[in-house]
Structure 1
Amino acid sequence: MLKTRILTAIVLLGLFLPALFWLPLLAWASIMLGLTLICLSEWAGFLQLSKSQTHVYLAVSAFLGLAMLFLLPQLGFHWFFYHALQVFAFATAFWLIVVPVTLFFHVFSKNKGINAIIGWGLMMSLWLALVAAKEVNPYVLLVIISTIWLADSAAYFAGKQFGRHKLAPAISPGKTWEGVFGALLAVAIYAAVLKVTGAVSTWWILPGLWLVTVAGIYGDLFESFFKRRANLKDSGQFLPGHGGLLDRVDGVIPALPIGMCLLFWFHYWQQAYSF
């Protein structure tokens, strides 16, 4: 199983990096839309939608995504980014306000319609962020995603080695506070490396990546909450040795919209207060 997981990860990385830096925006957006729809189909499994309900759910989502792809070259990226930024702001509020309350009280709506709309909103914000980040600067996307991957790995090893205090035993028994601190430490080192090597120009990268890391933890726990309620171990079987695609991007779903909001805020702050 470990060999399969490693091989799958290598293949994914080998496909992801060339696509990120070399594909035209529309080609990238189309592929990311397809992957987002796979995540949405796995979300439908959490809600235990029927086959016909899932087909309608995905068809409507695909139609809206394709319509936006059609409009993108017509109206331009600035139009796209302006409207996407509003979605990112709502997603940020959801992840930093609604989700912490949900996880603390261990309660969330069981209405399939409401949860279908929420899932659609979350996956759409992910797709918009994947498209916007590539166009703004592919390295931004790479830094945010690598932060989540690094945090996940550090949390796993720190938790395995030092884990004593459970983070959310009713939702995800394997996660520990020691794992969280290990993730934050690893991300702090990563931020320092980015600053010292000149990859970024400010130490604000540290609190920014810490916020992204915390958001990724929320995303992981929120997905685990829905999986546990649906009595599922994995979101699917899309990736050999890894389970579903949603299992691999649960931390990225909140991290990217929040990262894009932070990027916009920092850019605006620099413009407004530069002398």
Structure 2
Amino acid sequence: MAAPANSSSGTSRRVVTGLGLLVALLLAVFAAPAPLWLGLVVLFLAAAAWEWARLLKFGPVFGHLFVGFTAILGTALAMSQVQFLPQAYLASLGFWLLLVPLWLARAWPLPGRILGWLLGWLLLLPAGLALLYLREQGAGLLLGAIAISAVADSAAYFAGRAFGRHKLAPRISPGKTWEGAIGAGITVSLFALLVGWYYACDSQCLLSLIAASGLLFALSIEGDLFESWCKRVAGVKDSGNLLPGHGGLLDRVDSHLAVLPIAALLWLWLHG
């Protein structure tokens, strides 16, 4: 009897935490003034940096330095309006499209402290800047970019449970299946069609929206797999315990770290 009770309790914590995060996100995106939003983004960067430092075993001194400098650099970049420049996201584009596939294919280990510090900045800072830029362009745009990862993650989970037979990356994340990924891809495409219908897109706009959503969907899978690989190499199940029922912050935002910078870059390219 204990196992079902524990399972039910874990599910309840997961649901409550998830709903709390959703409400907090909506309130912050729609109601927070710009200075408060900047403060929340810097707080997010600091918390994510702390988990990254623990994941790569920086140690207490080096870890605290990494968190502090990440918060300072993130604030300085934002105050300098770097988030409005495409150059802020180009390194992230190269990392996710070129380096991460190679990293996963060759099963590279986690880097040491110095390279790990730089890699942490490459993962976190563009995502933080994208949170600032996309919200400045419109709350709906930011929520749409976040929703792509959330929709893909949920659809992959349910499609994988219902139809999953063939492992997507058994060495990295045994629970993920090709069927789940295909189901997620279809769901994201339907989501893009729904958004296009809501905004009365013409055919060219709709095709662009579906293509962009497809790219961001693929990146969301990459972000998820990369964090899974980092945890596997580090020998941990979760990146932390900040979110009851979910694990750490990085466990919840892994796909968003890949999606948000490229979403910002695409918007800059189309509307810059």
Counterparts of 1:16-27 in structure 2, within 5 Å, are: 16-27=25-36
Distance 2:261 2:29 in 1: 17
Match of 1:260 among 259, 264, 269: 264
In structure 2, relative to structure 1, the CA distance for the partners of 1:150 and 1:81 (3 Å cut) is: same
- Unmatched 5+ stretches in structure 2: 1-9
Q: Is the 8 A contact 2:110 2:233 kept in 1?
A: no
Once the two structures are overlaid, the 10-residue window that deviates more, 118-127 or 191-200, is 191-200
Structure 2 match to 1:43: 52
Distance 2:227 2:32 in 1: 30
Q: Is the 8 A contact 1:47 1:116 kept in 2?
A: no
Distance 1:124 1:240 in 2: 25
How much does 1:267 deviate? 2.2
Identity value in percent: 38
Structure 2 match to 1:81: 84
Structure 1 match to 2:146: 145
Counterparts of 1:1-275 in structure 2, within 5 Å, are: 1-69=10-78, 71-72=79-80, 77=81, 80-82=83-85, 85-108=86-109, 110-198=111-199, 202-203=205-206, 204-267=208-271
Distance 2:12 2:201 in 1: 35
Q: Is the 8 A contact 1:33 1:65 kept in 2?
A: yes
Deviations 1:158-186 (A, max 9, x none): 11111111111111111111111011000
Once the two structures are overlaid, the 10-residue window that deviates more, 131-140 or 101-110, is 101-110
Q: Say which SS state the counterpart of residue 199 (structure 2) adopts.
A: coil
Distance 1:112 1:168 in 2: 27
User: How many pairs align?
Assistant: 260
Q: Say which SS state the counterpart of residue 168 (structure 2) adopts.
A: strand
Once the two structures are overlaid, the 10-residue window that deviates more, 50-59 or 248-257, is 50-59
Amino acid at match of 2:39: S
Q: Say which SS state the counterpart of residue 48 (structure 1) adopts.
A: coil
Amino acid at match of 1:56: L
Once the two structures are overlaid, the 10-residue window that deviates more, 31-40 or 55-64, is 55-64
How much does 1:62 deviate? 2.0
Distance 2:258 2:97 in 1: 9
Distance 2:104 2:247 in 1: 23
Distance 1:209 1:264 in 2: 16
TM normalised by structure 1 equals 0.90
Deviations 1:129-157 (A, max 9, x none): 00111111221110010111010000001
Q: Say which SS state the counterpart of residue 244 (structure 2) adopts.
A: coil
What is the RMSD of the two structures over their aligned residues, measured on CA atoms?
1.5
TM normalised by structure 2 equals 0.91
Q: Is the 8 A contact 2:91 2:122 kept in 1?
A: no
- Unmatched 5+ stretches in structure 1: 269-275
